[in-house]
Amino acid sequence: MFRKYKAVFSLALLILILIGVMFIPVKALTVLKGDEEIYALYLKDRSFSIQWTHSVEKEDWIEYFNIRDDVLYLESTKFKTFGAGVPSQTEHSAVLEDGWVHMDIERKIGEALVVRSHQLNDYQLRFGKETYDLQPSDDAYTISVSETPLHSILFTFLKRIVR
């Protein structure tokens, strides 16, 4: 009889420990759509990129970001054509390579990057080797570094597996 209670107690204790671990705060790259967290990505990498199709030029555009001390920095960008919204002068030179114009920018963004996704633009966030869609929405996406419960990161991971 004592063995039975010991096994039940041990199992209950293990379950409580696992539940407790799920709420441990972990540093993550988080993506909110409005107030809803849609991605929580374990911060193993310190860089990410945003890619979209330019609404006027109809060409891909990619911006590369770095994270230092939980602050986001726009490091560089690459695009295929000069047009609407492209700076005509920059502090750094532009280089043409493989059909892309590459520009170093090195600009502090701050603690959050706000992105609006439209159906014409096909916005995507690339973090590590994974790509995450930023579906068209009336709500803005906010990308930032924050402490988030481990279960949020696991939930994002599980969503990728089942899709």
pLDDT band at 3 (very low <50, low <70, confident <90, very high): confident
Q: What is the pLDDT of residues 45-81, one digit of tens each?
A: 899 999 998 877 788 999 999 999 999 999 999 988 7
**d(Cα 141, Cα 65) in Å, to the nearest integer?**
16
- What is the per-residue pLDDT for 157? 86
Quote the pLDDT of residue 83: 67
pLDDT reported for residue 146: 95
d(Cα 77, Cα 86) in Å, to the nearest integer? 10
One-letter amino acid for residue 142 of the chain: T
The reply to whether 137 falls in a domain is: yes
Handedness of CA 147, 118, 53, 101 (dihedral sign): negative
Q: Determine the pLDDT at residue 70.
A: 95
Considering the domain boundaries, does residue 58 fall inside one? yes
> Would you say residue 124 lies in a domain?
yes
Q: Which domain holds residue 85?
A: 26-162
pLDDT in the model for residue 27: 95
Model confidence at 14: pLDDT above 80: no
Whether 20 is in a domain gets the answer no
Mean pLDDT confidence for 28-48: 95
Q: Could you tell me if residue 1 is inside a domain?
A: no
**Are 53 and 134 in contact, with CB atoms under 8 Å apart?**
no
Query: Looking at the chain, which runs of residues are DSSP E strands?
Result: 25-33, 36-42, 47-53, 60-68, 71-79, 94-97, 100-110, 112-115, 124-127, 130-133, 141-149
pLDDT of residue 88: 65
Q: Once rounded to an integer, what is the mean pLDDT over residues 10-38?
A: 82
Asked, for residue 145, whether it belongs to a domain, the answer is yes
2-22 and 150-162 helices cross at what angle (nearest 10)? 90
Number of domains in the chain: 1
Domain assignment of residue 109, yes or no: yes
Contact predicate 38/31, CB 8 Å = yes
95 belongs to a structural domain:
yes
* pTM of the predicted protein model: 0.83
pLDDT (average), residues 135-149? 95
What are the Cα distances from residue 34, in Å, to 72, 83, 105, 134? 19, 30, 28, 12
Q: Which two tokens stand for residue 27?
A: 């540093």
Contacts by 55-59 with C-beta closer than 8 Å and gap 24+?
55/118, 55/120, 55/121, 56/83, 56/84, 56/85, 57/81, 57/83, 57/84
